[in-house]
Chains A and B, each alone.
Chain A
């Protein structure tokens, strides 16, 4: 190795760093020991490298930056729980379990096609196989939810009550009950509570519920309210008592 080549290699040498252990530098360092002129250049070069590095490491950092970062990230983290990326990942995995579970649950049932059968099975099913992590589609956009349901030939012309229209969506699913497609719209009613709204064609059952007033029935842990409207049957279900559902009717 001649001195010119050694100089090219030593140009990348950082004194005090791990470069001394790099075999690529070993020959060049040996050449510097043999060539006094190269040795002088290398000494000067190391001094410059140390100086530049020292000065860059002493760029002053604004004192308030640390707190600003923590405050900003904390503010960012206050996004609603179901919009967190970890939730999205969990939702994708759990959706598979949900679809399989719901399919099994509803296909094994041999009940009739009364409204009570439909309501009980579908609300029980959602408690058994469904949680907040399970959605075909995850969005807070109610228009997108409606479009997704329409695209999948599920009831999409449903009418939301005014209080429900004001809630952000969470997502939706397309379910099946005795060959009838059921739209499940999930709404965020606050405090990590989900409103489940099931919509199915009125012809799916032999005895659809009345238009008004809604029928309230508790099915395990969920309270449900059912009514008919313009060819559709609606079931609204949520944790809590009747008064919780009434706020959204």
Chain B
């Protein structure tokens, strides 16, 4: 990682080029997962770094720069969408009845496009936490910071999102003629 020196210390402030090199790919992938559109994802990624150029100096803890960038991108996404709908909150306990009934071997049917399309079919509230969950290996605490929601809400949304996603992928695989063995229940 270019932002850490040889002794594992974070420099005072990363230069823009290092920052772009380190994060533009993962930011784009996050943006693409949210928008499912290359142009929109590029716009969001570029806008994120523009915001950094004008407001990045306000970030006091430079170890939080990655979280800051993802938070900024997500805010920009929300602003772009101008969503008015309040996010529903699901408790983790509600998930149990819907646990996925899917088979293990779907590798040959899945590609990035299929996964992103399936993500796009999820309830909106599940998309961002689930993408961060898979894409960046963020902890639930970090995801909660980025999305600015309670950690319990993060977990419940990811749980339900996984269920929805896997069901969608399974339906897609069934529609395309794959054989499935039900391993659940």
**B49 within 8 Å of A by Cβ?**
yes
- What separation, in Å, do the CA atoms of A70 and B25 have in the docked complex? 14
The B-contacting residues of A in range 1-52, CB under 8 angstroms, are 4, 7-8, 11-12, 14, 17-18, 40-41, 43-45, 47-49, 51-52
- Chain A binder among B3-11, B26-34, B76-84: B26-34
Give the residue name and chain of the B residue nearest to A67 (CB): B20
Residues from chain B with a CB closer than 8 A to the CB of A73 are 16, 49-50, 52-53
Residues from chain A with a CB closer than 8 A to the CB of B162 are 11-12
**B114 within 8 Å of A by Cβ?**
yes
Instruction: Check B99–A53 contact: CB distance below 8 A.
Output: no
Q: A110 to chain B: closest CB distance in Å?
A: 44
Question: How extensive is the interface on chain A, given as a class?
Answer: 35 or more
Question: Pick the contact of A12 from B32, B38, B158 — CB < 8 Å?
Answer: B158
Give the residue name and chain of the B residue nearest to A37 (CB): B183
- Contacts A11-B99, A48-B102, A85-B54 hold; do A69 and B183 have CB atoms under 8 A apart? no
Q: A80 to chain B: closest CB distance in Å?
A: 14
- What separation, in Å, do the CA atoms of A17 and B111 have in the docked complex? 21
- Residue from B20, B49, B53 whose CB has the most chain A CB atoms within 10 Å: B53
Instruction: Check B54–A62 contact: CB distance below 8 A.
Output: no
Residues from chain A with a CB closer than 8 A to the CB of B57 are 85-86, 89
Residues from chain B with a CB closer than 8 A to the CB of A100 are none
**A191 within 8 Å of B by Cβ?**
no
- What separation, in Å, do the CA atoms of A44 and B29 have in the docked complex? 26
Question: Pick the contact of B112 from A48, A59, A86 — CB < 8 Å?
Answer: A59
A12-B158, A62-B28, A69-B24 are known; give 18 further A-B pairs, CB within 8 A: A8-B93, A11-B95, A11-B162, A12-B162, A43-B104, A44-B104, A48-B100, A48-B102, A48-B166, A52-B165, A55-B111, A61-B25, A66-B20, A68-B46, A70-B17, A73-B50, A85-B54, A85-B58
